[in-house]
A = this chain, B = another copy of it.
Amino acid sequence: MDRADLGFLLARLLRRIQAGEEPILREAGLDMWGYVVMVGLDGSEAPTQAHLAERTGRDKTRLIRNLDRLEELGYVTRTPDPDDRRNRVVTLTTAGEKALRTCRKQIAAMEQELLAALDAEERVAFETALTKVVG
Given A118-B129, A126-B129, A129-B126, A134 and B7 contact (CB-CB distance below 8 Å): no
Of the candidates B6, B12, B14, B133, which one forms a contact with A118 in the assembled complex, judged by CB atoms under 8 Å apart? B133
Say which one of A47-55, A62-70, A80-88, A103-111 lies at the interface with B. A103-111
Let me know if A130 and B6 touch, CB within 8 A: yes
Interface residues of A in 56-97 (CB under 8 A from B): none
What's the interface size class on A, roughly? 35 or more
- Judge whether A39 is part of the interface by a CB distance below 8 angstroms: yes
Residue-by-residue, is A1-17 near B (CB-CB < 8 Å gives 1, otherwise 0)? 01011111111111011
Of the candidates B9, B122, B125, B131, which one forms a contact with A9 in the assembled complex, judged by CB atoms under 8 Å apart? B131
Q: Which residues of B contact A7 (CB under 8 A)?
A: 14, 17-18, 21, 107, 111
Given A122-B132, A125-B126, A126-B129, A5 and B114 contact (CB-CB distance below 8 Å): no
Q: Which residues of B contact A130 (CB under 8 A)?
A: 6, 9-10, 13, 126
- Judge whether A115 is part of the interface by a CB distance below 8 angstroms: yes
Residues of A at the B interface (CB closer than 8 Å) are 2, 4-14, 16-18, 21, 36, 39, 104, 107-108, 111, 114-115, 117-118, 122-123, 125-135
